[in-house]
Amino acid sequence: MRHLFPPILPALIFAAPAIAADSELYTFHCLWGCPVGAPATNDTIVREIYTLSSNDFTKMADWVAYRITPQTIATSQGDRNYRIDNWLDPSETLAESQYAGAPSALRIDHGHQAPLAAFSGTPQWDDTNYNSNMTPQASALNQGPWQRLEGRERSATLQTGGPVFVYTGPLYERLMKPMPAGPTYHRVPSGYWKIVALGDGRMSAFVMDQNTPRNANHCDYRVPLLHVELRSRLQFLPRRGTAVLSSMDSLVGCTTPPRPLDPPSEITTR
C-alpha cells in the first residue's frame, strides 16, 4: 500500500509519524479517522479536496472521503476533462479508453464519487475528473436519486455552515456485465453506499443499487451505519470513542421514518 500526498498539505495530515501499512490514516476529509479495512495493497491518495483508497484489482476507489464547506460550493464550471490519474501506475487505474462504448452499451455515466459541484468553488475542482475518482454508474441512478442526495449534502452544508463529511464507495455483490472495451474481468459495481455526517455526531447512511429508478426518492434507501459496514466490509469513524451518533435525516430532506430493511437471507437447502 502506498500513500500519495501532494508536496504541501497544510492542515491536512494530523498524524505526525510515518504511516505504516497497518496504521490508521487521518486527514481533515475524515471525521474521527478514515475508513479501516481496505486491502493492504490499496494506494491511498490525499488531495486538497478528497482522500481515496484505490484498489489495484478493480482499478477504482474502495472509498472516497471528502469535506464540504460553504466556501467549496459553487456552480459547476469548466469541461469534464476525464483523464488517467498520473499518481497511480497505469496498471492500477482505468484509462479513459476503457470507458469507450460503455455509456451506450451499459447505460452508464462517469460517476464522480467526490462530486464536481461540491468543489467548484475551489481551485482544485478539476481534480474530481481523475478516473481514480470515477466509477461506471448507471445513468438513471447518477442523474436521479444519487444526484439529489449530493444536492442535499450541499444544502445541509449551507444550512449548518459546515463542514459536512461524506464517505462513499462501490459495492460488488453480484456479477455485472463488464465494460465493453475490456478487460473481461473488469468489475462493474452492483451498487453504492454513502455516509453523510457532521462533527457533532449527526449522520445518515444510504445504499442504492445500480438499478435504482431515476425517479426514486433517496430517502427510501436509508440504512443504519452498521448495515454499510457489513456490506462494504469497512469500519467507519474508527476514532469515534464515546461520541454518540444521532440522525441528520431532516438535513438531507428525509422527514419520514426509514423503511424497514429486508430480513437477512437464510440457508434453505437441506
Domain locations in the chain as residue ranges: 3-252
| % of residues, the chain, pLDDT over 70 | 89
What secondary structure letter does DSSP report for 148?
Answer: H
The pTM assigned to this predicted structure is: 0.90
Euclidean distance between CA atoms 187 and 252, whole angstroms: 31
pLDDT value at residue 3: 67
Q: Is 112 a catalytic residue?
A: yes
Angle 47-51-56 from CA coordinates, rounded to 5°:
105
Task: Read off the pLDDT of residues 179-213 as tens digits, 9 standing for 90 and up.
Answer: 888 776 678 999 999 999 999 999 999 999 999 99
| CA neighbor of 190 nearest in space, from 207, 204, 205, 166 | 207
pLDDT value at residue 184: 65
With cut-offs at 50, 70 and 90, classify the pLDDT of residue 16: very low
Fold of 3-252: Extracellular Endonuclease; Chain A (3.40.570)
Average pLDDT over residues 67-93: 89
With cut-offs at 50, 70 and 90, classify the pLDDT of residue 87: very high
CA–centroid distance for 79 within its chain: 22
pLDDT at residue 15 above 50?
no
Q: Spot the catalytic one: 3, 29, 110, 112.
A: 112
Euclidean distance between CA atoms 86 and 53, whole angstroms: 15
pLDDT value at residue 40: 94
With cut-offs at 50, 70 and 90, classify the pLDDT of residue 1: low
pLDDT value at residue 206: 98
How far lies 250's CA from each of 116, 164, 228, 255, in Å?
24, 14, 20, 5
Task: Read off the pLDDT of residues 46-75 as tens digits, 9 standing for 90 and up.
Answer: 999 999 999 999 999 999 999 999 999 998
pLDDT at residue 7 above 70?
no
